[in-house]
Chain A
Amino acid sequence: METRNRRRLLTALFGAGAVGVILRVFDPATSRIFPPCPVWYLTGWYCPGCGSLRAIHQLLHGNLQAAWAMNPLTVILLPFICYGLVSHAVIAIRGQGNGLPRLFLPAVWIRALCALIVLYGIARNLPFYPFDLLAPGAMLRL
């Protein structure tokens, strides 16, 4: 492995580990060490990522249901994101072509995903049933 890749990989692993520890110890729902989302702060709207950190905090404590209530899209996308990051790391270690099978998404799928993220962001701000359930934490109050 190239020295440059090794340094990048170690930095990434260290960063991911630090973020994981911080997110497990501090609950973004109550702790003030996390900055507020600028979108929410400026507009009061829930963006598609709203509740992601709270969801990951719950996942790190094994509470899938609470995580789902905070941000279902994040819970769905996390396995794909993790796979993508791990396959990047494997390629950095073992070289191109020796890694995990790469996910090649046809362009149509990526555009659909993009549309899904935008529509999800709109839907979770609608103030009526059933869309109001998508607001962060709303499903916990059922």
Chain B
Amino acid sequence: MIIQQKIPIISCERVSPIFSRLRFFSPRIARESNPGNFVHIRINDNNYPLLRRAFSIHKTGREKGTFDVLFKVVGSGTKLLSFKKPGQELDVLGPLGNAFSLPKKVSQDIILVVGGMGIAPLFFLASELCRNNKTDSIKINLLYGVKNKDEFLCLKELKDLGIEVIFATEDGTQGFEGTATQLFLKQTKKYQNFKKVKVFSCGPPAMLKVMSEYAREYNLNCEISLENHMPCGVGACMGCVVKHGKKNKFEYKRVCKEGPIFNAREVWLD
């Protein structure tokens, strides 16, 4: 069941000049959210902006009944959202979309490939994976790429999770010089057999295109989280579709309904 609620913001944090984190209070949404799900937020009651904006769920505090969204200020909608204050209530739909498939009793190693804002949903995934992996039976690697080291987010939280993070920056200011996908290719050379690895990825469209090509080339077991303009967010408008299936025999799937999580081998991004 999709929940539509007016819910209060309980904290707003400017993580950096261009990144913001909002924490909402909604025990129902917090309880029912899984990594990969998103919420559709009405930013204003007037017509500016008119349409809701979709945000991955970044974190939940189930005991406190909260969930967070983490976003980059890129346009007028996110700018207005970044100025919201604690106590203000917003109309939110959620949780929406499908979720990452969490390996329950899997012995596979897990690689999370993150580009930029892709950290928003993949941090939620990483924390759930760690919660299910108390015995440390599986190895979780996070490959995290950004343009410049100032754009790394959630560093303390990632440290607290205790997973191995390998950093990449396009300008070489920290870690591997290059993109997250280049780092992924370099790292995965050590894996003799990709069948033993499960990959989850989220990042900008160009990066996910590369990941889906790698997934086909190396027959990876890889799930990616897509984003798109979503007028309705609930599957009614057919506005947010992605090519899905075989290259010459595809159909359009709705990112908001059949996604946003897809098998990387099955989507065709332009």
Partners in one complex: no
Q: Which residues of B are at the interface with A, using a C-beta cutoff of 8 A? A: none
Interface residues of A (CB under 8 A from B): none
